Amino acid sequence: MRKSFIGLLIFGIIGLWGAPPGFATSTSVDALIDKLVEKGILTEKEAKGLELEIAEDEKMMREDGLQQGLPEWVKNAKLKGDFRLRYQYERKETDADARTRGRIRYRLGLDTKVNDQIKVGLGIASGADDPRSTNQTFTDTFERPDVRMDLAYAEYTPLESVKLNLIGGIFPRSGYLWAPTDLLWDGDVNPQGGAAHWEQAMGQWTPYLNTGVWMIDEISSTTNDRVDPFLYYTQGGMKFKQGDWSANLAGIYYGFNGLKGTCPDWSAATNTGITTSSNGSCSAGALRYDYDSGGVSAELALATPFDMDFIPEAGVFGDFIANIDGDEIDDSTGWSMGARFGDKKVAGPGQWQFKYIFANLGKDAFVDFTPDSDRYGGRTDVRSHEGILEYGINKNVVLGLDYYQSKRIKAAENPEQIVQADVNMKF
């Protein structure tokens, strides 16, 4: 009690002197405490404790003052990111030698509230301009690689009673299009345009709707009267949760405009009409179809199946897509199915998950510039098996092992194997 009273007295004296807290603590306060020890009012032990207490209070005062001086958008800012270190082995049957690569991925994101309804986000990432990869390979004699803009968006939440989100810019796809596998969409693809997500919980059931318009390209020629290629989509679904059971079922329609007759950038040159594609640019041919498509996605999960505590959750899932742009299309369907066991998400020590996915994507089932780039270079006309094992070794530190075995369906099979060993760190 005596030490606390003396501490308050000292701070009062500092206030009367009008000296800056840092100056007073380092000079006047030290001298005052020494004098109190000399007079026998404080012991040496009490003096040391009081110095520490005053220093801690001073630190809190400085932090509070700094916080009060910051703009609201800075106070509301959230910074997050991840770093991945990878070893990759890949080989096709006809290759004379295997290819091995060291690779990294670094992503850093910042979002902040403009007000209670609007949030603005920004993200940067490693890698070149390939929309399906943020990997940077160790190469070119220690060359310093570029960092690219990965995200730049504004998100608007107009209502409090209903979950309704509107977004525009270059934004993360996951909140505005649900797909349980990467059959059609590589995880690194961030759409450009606008989208909306609505959902409303009704007891065990939660209906939802995703819709949007995403730009694909701009026709820069002033003499060309073509429409700039874009896609629009509508996905309606229902989520269910009761006890240990959960499910998600959705149907989707994709409408592509202005795509037929073009030669898209980053085409894998497997859709009908494209004959050559290299260095990220389509250099020959023109697409025969517009790729209007309809599909279904589903997932069913059960916590602790058969009361096996060592398996926190098990689930099955899949996607189906069909090109409905014309009756004459061959190889117009694609589908994937998979199963997972373990934790729903691996983020902490001892957590784990194993996942298996089988994918079969016909030549013209969907456009060939968006599917998973690790599945035979992102091509269509591909059949693939994939196994993924993840294990958490510490908080936000995960070891991963991903194995692909893929081959072409109607073209020369030439099977390919890819092994990826990862260390993932999130912050």
pLDDT tens digits in sequence order for the chain, 427 residues long: 455 545 544 554 444 444 444 444 456 667 777 777 777 777 877 778 777 777 777 677 666 665 666 777 777 889 999 999 999 999 999 999 999 999 999 999 999 999 999 999 999 999 989 999 999 999 999 999 889 999 999 999 999 888 999 999 999 999 999 999 999 999 999 999 999 999 999 999 999 999 999 999 987 665 566 789 999 999 999 999 999 999 999 999 999 999 999 999 999 999 999 988 776 777 888 999 999 999 999 999 999 998 888 899 999 999 999 999 877 888 999 999 999 999 999 999 999 999 999 999 999 999 999 999 999 999 999 999 999 999 999 999 999 999 999 999 999 999 999 999 999 999 9
Q: Is residue 316 part of a domain?
A: yes
Give the Cα separation of 349 and 227 in Å (integer): 52
Does 34 lie in the same domain as 130? no
Does 394 lie in the same domain as 358? yes
Write the CATH number for 98.
2.40.160.10
Token pair 């689930």: residue? 315
Q: Is residue 74 part of a domain?
A: no
Counted domains in the chain = 2
Rg over alpha carbons for the chain, rounded to the nearest Å, is 29
Residues 6+ apart with CB under 8 A from 198: 162, 163, 164, 165, 208, 209
Does 383 lie in the same domain as 336? yes
Q: Is residue 348 part of a domain?
A: yes
Q: Is residue 88 part of a domain?
A: yes
Does 97 lie in the same domain as 210? yes
Host domain of residue 284 = 80-426
Does 110 lie in the same domain as 36? no
User: Which two tokens mark 335?
Assistant: 């589908």
Does 257 lie in the same domain as 134? yes
The candidate with the shortest Cα–Cα distance to 356, out of 316, 383, 320, is 316
Give the Cα separation of 337 and 248 in Å (integer): 14
Instruction: List alpha helices for 18-142, DSSP H.
Output: 21-23, 29-38, 44-69, 72-75
